[in-house]
Amino acid sequence: MLPFVFEWQWDIGHIVFFGLFFGVVSVVFGVLGLTILKTILDLWSGKIHSADH
Amino acid sequence: MDWDRRTFVKFAVGAVIGIHASPLIPKFMDDTAIWTQNWNWVPVPEDGAVAYAHTVNPHTGTGAKAKLIDGRVEGLRAIRVEGNPNHPLSQGGVLPADASALQLLYNSEIRVTKPLLRNRSTGVMTQLSWPQALDLVAGNLANLAKNGQAHMAAALGADPSSTTGQILMRLMQALGSPNVAFTPTPRETMALAGLFMMGQPFLGFDLANANYIVSFGTPLLDGFGAPVAVRKAFAGWRGYPKNQARLVQIEPRASVTASQADQWLACKPGSEGLVALAMCRIMIDEGVYDRAIESAYGWNDADGLPGFKSYLLKNLDRAKTASLAGISLPKLVKMTLAFAKADRAVAVCGPGNSGDPGRLYDFMSVLALNALKGNLGKPGGVVAQQPLPLKSLGGALPEAKPPALAMAGRPFGVNNVHELAQAALAGKPYGLKTLILCGGNFVFNGPQANVMHDLARKTPFVVAITPYMDESAGMADLVLPSTHWLEGWGDSTTPFGSAVSCYGLHRPLVKSVDEAKDGGDILLALAQRLGGPVAAALPFKNLGEAMAKRTQAMGDFKKLAEASYWAQKRPAYGAMRFNTPSGRLELSSRVLRNLLSKGGRDADKTARALGVKAGAQTAFLPHWEEPAAYAEGAAYPLVMQAVPSLRTTWGDEAVTPYMVKILPDTVLANTDKLVVEMHPATAQQLHLQEGDAVLVESSAGSLTAKLTLYAGAAPGMVFVPLGLGHKDFGFQVAGKGMNFNRAVKVTSDPMSGMPIWELTGVSVKKVRG
Amino acid sequence: MRRWFDDLPKYADDSSWWPKGTTRCRPEVFLFWLGLPLTIMAYFGVSAFLVLFKGLNQTNMNDYFAFGVWIVVDLAVIALGAGAFFTSFLNYIIGKTELKPIVNAAVLIGFICYTGAILMLGIDIGQPIRGWFGFWHANVHSMLTEVMFCITTYAIVLCIELLPSVLDNRRIGKVPEFGTFSHNLHTIMIVFAAAGTFLSFFHQGSLGGMFGVLYARPFAFRGHLGIWPMTFFLFVMSAIAAGPSFTTLIVMITEKITAKRLTSHKVKMLMGKISGWLLLVYMVCKSVDTLYWAFIYLPSKGLSVGQMYQMPYGSWLVWAELGLFGWLPVVMLLTPRVRESYGLLFLAMLLNCIGVTLNRFIFTIQSLALPVMPFEKFISYLPTWQEWGVASLVLGHGLLIFMLAYRYLPIFPQEPELNQR
Amino acid sequence: MWRKNQVRYGMVIDVDKCTGCGACAVACMSENNVGVLPDETDKIRSITWLRVYQIDNGKPFPDTEVAFFPRPCMHCQGGTSGAPGQAFFQEDTDPQEAHTPCVSVCPAIATDYDDATGIVSQIPTRCIGCRYCVAACPYHARYFNWYDVPWPQGTPRGLSPFVSPRMRGVVEKCTFCYARLQRAKNKAFVGGGKVGEMDYQTACTEACPSGAITFGQLQNPAHKVHKLIQSEFAFRLLEKLGTNPKVYYMSKRKWVRMMADNHLSQAKATQAAASGGHK
């Protein structure tokens, strides 16, 4: 999974596979993080949404 | 601060992030992974310095090389049994039994570790010290001797030619009992046949150098003589693009030997000897035989008795014989001519598939065939082994007064454990008071297991000397722990059929379990306790010393022990010396004639009394007697024969867990069911189908099994795997299949007096289950 | 005097948690019905414990049937759960907003299927505690590795996709943090939909690839397109064809049970139509593939189709898979009159789902059942009760989650207006 | 294009010499610490790295014949195999093409193809027990530990320290006695020489009493196996699948050679023989 794993040897497969995988993972968690961040900012700036509004 | 929802949420989120940031999770995962690789119930064998030691497995005759490891904690232990490439017979090959020997050695659930006294009524075992145990036995024997009942003590041993066997014999003889018997082997039948015809007790087949081999029902490749040696020879016969030698197998079943043979002639069960005679007849008719035989005694009529030639010409019509044996005559003739033409052809006789010692007249017929071929003493023929240079353990001892139980009015004493047991059970001429079982596990191996079982049950005092809690130990009042062959001293002699004589020796390689002693040592200690003539007859401190004395002629004992074997360099080629009364080959045996007419008896009457139908007319000639199994009558319409296999048994040792593990489901079916073979047509007549549970019943015993239909099985027969069905030997072996020897009916060979059980008349019925 | 349980109804009254404008059954009734999934879960619990504690000898799998009912169920539910990614793909990315009313349900069902499948896989492997080696020492050439990576990641994505529905609960949504968070998630949902589609597409394919690459197993092996065997694409197609059907099927069943209308029939018909067209494409490819396999590939390996179908896995399977559960639903789903009828649409979708399940069964079990060595024996396999127990997990925890979600979460936006009286 | 000068260990088993005695199987088990379960008649869960299959020619009495196929792991090379019967061992250098059925599917690299020896290794301590490799192997050469081995009291004393006993829940198989190669290499390293033909022999090869098994480097003209596989009588199991095994068989008997692979002509017969069940 990581280049320092025992018996790891680089080959094109690793680059393609993990490239895509980590790409998607970072997008997903990145966006999630951003959303959380935005939410916090919204709350500070008072742009509050809730089921009632 | 107060704990409102908000704080809680913050705290929770913080905790989650914190835990993930910490090394807790990877550490925990790592630990669990390591744990799964070190479950404490998965053994971790200890490493250490590796050493090899040569030895010989006395049960298989295989030259072995034990791989030993000297661990700091565990101490010296054996981790493997490999083949010894230097050994002249086995040349580095092993059998399943050799390779898995450690499973018996180290299984403390089946080993006997201390002398045990069994309470017959409760079956409870109590431990004894060695002195107590020995005193108990010695006291019992001494008591018998005192009351002149020494003959009411009998001893059964595994191998008469082993030093332990010799000690056992001397012990009983010195005690005054004639009743010693051993596991019957074809070596004895061969010795008799050889003595009667050539005055040569030690004959062998030079298989390695033969290029045309005809085997008369002997399971060459299913287990014969020294199995590894035979396979080495067989390997030499094979080759590409064409084989180096031609193997012809004559037997009723498509066995491994039959399948691997270049030609398989399926014959009627028990007619193998007859086929040999038919071949003789054909060779005479076609004039393709070694003329030298015409000078043999008994070739022509002599002393008013028919000679071999006239006997064949008169009583052995080719066509009739062939049909009687169930073989097509043209095929037989063609094969015979090829046999006669081949430059290094040999005809092989030996144990039957059921592992019995073979029938004397069959052996004689095959020897006659070889003589006709003129291969005696020739490379690739029948050769006389150089007798092993073994000293006897002491001077001759006085013959015991009362007749041996097994004599049964025979002109000459033979080793017949079955007759001994039956006579003892019948109390004719007398019963037994004490029985010593020294190896051989007779209660399981029989030959007729149920009879041996009864004998052990009926005899008041039974002593078992054995490494394992086996069936015999289970019946004994006193169980004495003996060593496994890797733990102690012992030896074995030339295996059956070997062209060269060979002595195998094994010495202690690893510490013996707990209090186990060498079987020989136990007997010697017993002799010392008995004192008097017995002690005098066996003046040895221990078995090692006795072996050293016996093998003096083989050079330095220490060296011998390390080499683990002594062997005749090469087969003794050259004209064979006939130590017969006539000094010639005797096709009509005068030795036999003299024996039958010993003490002015009428040889003809004796012969008839012993069951030779034509009496003196044929009694001294190689000829064919109908197997007893034919005469079993309508109640037992089928003929039962065993299927020997190196996977189920070899020698008198028990099958090992690994051997059980590799049994195909045509031998042992799920779950642990013995499988018997039958020809589809025969099964159809009996309204039986594949997979039916059947009861195989003879007039002597029975077994239940699962039926499988095998096109390679002769019609009218049922084939039963040999060597399964142990009651003991731990959960890996116990209760797997059923014991063939519980269904066999053992009879005695009319002339040799050896027990034979090659064929048994049986009935096969479908049962529930 | 007041008895202790007089107040219970008051405490148990959870109506304030119900989605706005909806009514739900009384709490005690709900609690009573919760007993059903809980019983199933208990059965699962016992089986799972036995398997984990005593080992896989508790199953009837063996060295010939290395895979059993668990893998079949896994493959099936993952295929059926494909409704989630494909519906949200159409909804968020293609912009087929007509599907909005059903996309929540689709995501929820997807979530159930995937979590169930992952749990079962955890029990299926012989060394569960080492399961993560698959990630750590990943062999990137193995289809199974890809499946592991994608399924786990996609399960996470599904959680995120499901999150808004949870946060939109009437009470939870009142919390400003959650409300705002949910609002923001809604606005960015397209990203997750995209990620989900990507991941889902690949592991659906890889699940098929798992079998297609077994070139020593003539029954399963298929020719390659690039680095992927045909089964890769066939599995994707069959999954996206069956997924929408399954989602709709569940919705319809829920409607029958709750005696409410949850989505307009228009939505269902649309889902049916989508299923139908996709299934048509799949069936065409599958039929071609089967013919090629039967008459060109097998003979090249010295095998005949006849040998491939031995009882109990006889040739009836072909007719069932390709005919009754293959082409028939295609025809039905593509017939407007069928789609208009609630019952027939239901039937067509049912056949469709059974079809894909049967396909997964055949690839898992029959591939292994057939001896490759000519002297090998043919053996068949039946699961033990422990295996059924573990396999029933999806059902148990599915019911549980779905019941709770239906009761408290705004899964069906159309419900209020469709059920005004 | 082929690499011809590589070290590729392989085996030739002479079916015409095999007497089915099982010494190879037992020697293998004792060398590799294989356990014994209470019920070993349950063959589909019984671990036998080297299983001796019995086949018969399906002919009626008295023309019936049996033969044996001792079956270790084939250590498949994958890639384009030599044509059936064609002896010279070929392999494809393209990693995509040349993959062993089981190695390519293992998600955790618990089994690997050693490019230096051609031996397919097995790392039980890394195996997660997914059994995908078991499903991938057409020879049933891979075995899963369905049970913990119940070693009878005392028997662990007889275990070899050179091969660690396996835990429940992992897959194991024949490794061409890889531990022996390790030791041979060490010896060679100390002695400063190379690993000779006789320095590295598998347990089964040593044990076979009829010398039916030959082991060595397939591509090394100095080794016996190299000559043997050139024979017109040499063949392999299921060659048509293209697994390209490194275990060869030899037999002069046509029916035996036919039995080694699927043939449309034989489809019926082989089926009959298989269902005949004399195995």
Confidence band of D192 (pLDDT split at 50, 70, 90)? confident
| pLDDT at residue B449, rounded to an integer | 95
Of B5, B9, B32, the CB nearest to C129: B32
- Burial code (b: 16+ CB inside 10 Å, e: under 16) for D135-150 equals bbbbbbbbbbbbbbbe
Question: Cβ contact (<8 Å) for A28 and C160?
Answer: yes
Of D21, D152, D278, the CB nearest to B107: D152
* Range from B376-390, C146-160, C218-232, D150-164 carrying the lowest mean pLDDT: C218-232
Neighbours of chain D (3+ CB pairs under 8 A): B, C
Fill in the DSSP letter of residue A6: T
Best CA proximity match to C220, nearest among C367, C351, C346: C367
Nearest CA in chain A to C171: A51
Give the mean pLDDT of chain D: 87
| pLDDT at residue D273, rounded to an integer | 46
- Pairing mode, strands B461-466 and B478-481: parallel
User: H or E segment at B215?
Assistant: strand B212-216
Of D129, D240, D260, the CB nearest to C127: D129
| pLDDT at residue D279, rounded to an integer | 35
* B447 preceded by a cis bond (ω within 30 of 0): yes
R_g (Cα) of chain A, nearest Å:
19
Give the tokens for residue B244.
């180096």
* Shortest alpha-carbon distance between residue C278 and chain D (Å): 30
Of D104, D143, D271, the CB nearest to C142: D104
If you average pLDDT over residues B122-143, what whole number do you get? 95
Q: Has residue D113 got a pLDDT over 90?
A: no
Fill in the DSSP letter of residue B497: B
Task: Write the burial class of residue C166 (CB in 10 Å: 0-12 exposed, 13-18 middle, 19+ buried).
Answer: middle
User: H or E segment at B756?
Assistant: strand B755-756
Question: Phi/psi at C404 (nearest 5 deg)?
Answer: -60, -45
Best CA proximity match to B720, nearest among B732, B736, B704, B734: B704
Fill in the DSSP letter of residue B575: S
Confidence band of B703 (pLDDT split at 50, 70, 90)? very high
Cα D212 from Cα D68, distance rounded (Å) = 11
Give the tokens for residue D75.
């250590």
If you average pLDDT over residues D124-143, what whole number do you get? 95
Confidence band of B31 (pLDDT split at 50, 70, 90)? confident
Kindly report, residue by residue over C151-195, the tens digit of the pLDDT: 999 999 999 999 999 998 888 888 888 889 999 998 999 999 999
List CB contacts (< 8 A) between A25 and chain C. Answer: 153
| Interface subset of D 206-235, CB within 8 angstroms of C | none
Cα B215 from Cα B257, distance rounded (Å) = 9
Kindly report, residue by residue over A6-41, the tens digit of the pLDDT: 777 777 878 888 889 999 999 999 999 999 999 999
| pLDDT at residue C421, rounded to an integer | 63
Secondary structure of residue D207 in the 3-state scheme: helix
Best CA proximity match to B623, nearest among B382, B402, B418, B364: B364
Q: How many Cα atoms within 13 Å fall on the side-chain side of residue D245?
A: 27
| pLDDT at residue B5, rounded to an integer | 72
Confidence band of B641 (pLDDT split at 50, 70, 90)? very high
Find how far residue B217's CA is from the centre of its chain: 16
On whether any CB of chain B is under 8 Å from the CB of D241, the answer is no
On whether any CB of chain A is under 8 Å from the CB of C192, the answer is yes
Cα B30 from Cα B25, distance rounded (Å) = 9
* Range from B1-5, B251-255, D122-126, D271-275 carrying the lowest mean pLDDT: D271-275
Kindly report, residue by residue over B475-520, the tens digit of the pLDDT: 999 999 999 999 999 999 999 999 999 999 999 999 998 899 999 9
Q: How many Cα atoms within 13 Å fall on the side-chain side of residue B54?
A: 20
B71 contacts B77 by C-beta, under 8 angstroms? yes
Kindly report, residue by residue over B511-563, the tens digit of the pLDDT: 998 899 999 999 999 999 999 999 999 999 999 999 999 999 999 999 999 99
∠ Cα D203 D205 D210 (to 5°): 130
Determine which of D132, D174, D243 to mutate to test the interface with C (most C C-beta atoms within 10 Å): D132
Residues in chain B: 769
Q: Sign of the C-alpha dihedral, residues B262, B268, B269, B274?
A: negative
* Range from B235-239, B340-344, B446-450, C225-229 carrying the lowest mean pLDDT: C225-229
Phi-psi region of B331 (alpha: psi -120 to 50; beta: other; left: phi over 0): alpha
Fill in the DSSP letter of residue B400: P
> Residue D145 contacts by C-beta under 8 Å, 6 or more apart in sequence?
C126, D47, D166, D167, D168, D169, D170, D171, D172
Cα D28 from Cα C350, distance rounded (Å) = 53
Q: Has residue D271 got a pLDDT over 50?
A: no
* B178 preceded by a cis bond (ω within 30 of 0): no
Q: Has residue B575 got a pLDDT over 70?
A: yes
On whether any CB of chain C is under 8 Å from the CB of B29, the answer is yes
Secondary structure of residue B458 in the 3-state scheme: helix
Confidence band of B740 (pLDDT split at 50, 70, 90)? very high
| pLDDT at residue C217, rounded to an integer | 92
| pLDDT at residue C378, rounded to an integer | 81
C129 contacts C186 by C-beta, under 8 angstroms? no
Cα B601 from Cα B592, distance rounded (Å) = 13
On whether any CB of chain B is under 8 Å from the CB of D254, the answer is no
If you average pLDDT over residues B662-671, what whole number do you get? 93
| pLDDT at residue D80, rounded to an integer | 57
Confidence band of D276 (pLDDT split at 50, 70, 90)? very low
Q: Which residues pair with B491 in a beta bridge?
A: B505
B639 contacts B269 by C-beta, under 8 angstroms? yes
CA distances from C256 to C11, C116, C253, C343 (A): 29, 24, 5, 11
Give the mean pLDDT of chain B: 93
- Pairing mode, strands B153-157 and B180-182: parallel
Cα B380 from Cα B438, distance rounded (Å) = 38
Of C168, C177, C198, the CB nearest to A39: C177
Kindly report, residue by residue over B337-362, the tens digit of the pLDDT: 999 999 999 999 999 899 899 999 99
On whether any CB of chain B is under 8 Å from the CB of D183, the answer is no
Kindly report, residue by residue over C273-312, the tens digit of the pLDDT: 999 999 999 999 999 999 999 999 999 899 988 888 887 8
| Interface subset of D 66-85, CB within 8 angstroms of C | 69, 76
Q: Which residue has the tokens 């939410």?
A: A39
Cα B503 from Cα B555, distance rounded (Å) = 13
| pLDDT at residue B39, rounded to an integer | 86
Best CA proximity match to B471, nearest among B436, B433, B442, B432: B442
Q: Has residue D85 got a pLDDT over 60?
A: no
Q: Has residue B446 got a pLDDT over 90?
A: no
* Range from B699-703, C44-48, C298-302, C351-355 carrying the lowest mean pLDDT: C298-302
Of C157, C176, C191, the CB nearest to A43: C176
Confidence band of D93 (pLDDT split at 50, 70, 90)? very low
Confidence band of B408 (pLDDT split at 50, 70, 90)? low
Confidence band of B649 (pLDDT split at 50, 70, 90)? confident
List CB contacts (< 8 A) between A18 and chain C. Answer: 140
Give the tokens for residue C158.
């599904």
Q: What is the 3-state secondary structure (H, E, C) of C71-137?
A: HHHHHHHHHHCCHHHHHHHHHHHHCCHHHHHHHHHHHHHHHHHHHHHHHHHHHHCCCHHHCCHHHHC
| pLDDT at residue C254, rounded to an integer | 95
| pLDDT at residue D87, rounded to an integer | 40
| Alpha helices (H) in B354-491, listed in sequence order | 360-373, 417-426, 442-445, 449-458, 471-475
If you average pLDDT over residues C314-337, what whole number do you get? 93
Task: Write the burial class of residue B345 (CB in 10 Å: 0-12 exposed, 13-18 middle, 19+ buried).
Answer: buried
Confidence band of D19 (pLDDT split at 50, 70, 90)? very high
Provide the 10 A C-beta neighbour count for residue B324: 18
Confidence band of D277 (pLDDT split at 50, 70, 90)? very low
On whether any CB of chain C is under 8 Å from the CB of A12, the answer is no
* Shortest alpha-carbon distance between residue B93 and chain D (Å): 4
Kindly report, residue by residue over B361-398, the tens digit of the pLDDT: 999 999 999 999 999 999 999 999 999 999 999 988 88
Q: Has residue D128 got a pLDDT over 70?
A: yes
D144 contacts D48 by C-beta, under 8 angstroms? no
- Pairing mode, strands B63-71 and B49-56: antiparallel
Question: Cβ contact (<8 Å) for D262 and C301?
Answer: yes
Neighbours of chain B (3+ CB pairs under 8 A): C, D
The four Cα atoms B39, B45, B48, B49 give a dihedral, to 10 degrees, of: -150
Fill in the DSSP letter of residue B517: B
Q: Which residues pair with B180 in a beta bridge?
A: B155
Find how far residue C80's CA is from the centre of its chain: 3
Give the tokens for residue B206.
């030079």
Q: Has residue D278 got a pLDDT over 60?
A: no
* Range from B27-31, B97-101, B259-263 carrying the lowest mean pLDDT: B27-31
Find how far residue B620's CA is from the centre of its chain: 28
Question: Cβ contact (<8 Å) for C179 and A48?
Answer: yes
Provide the 10 A C-beta neighbour count for residue B507: 22
> Residue B392 contacts by C-beta under 8 Å, 6 or more apart in sequence?
B166, B550
| Interface subset of D 169-208, CB within 8 angstroms of C | 169-171
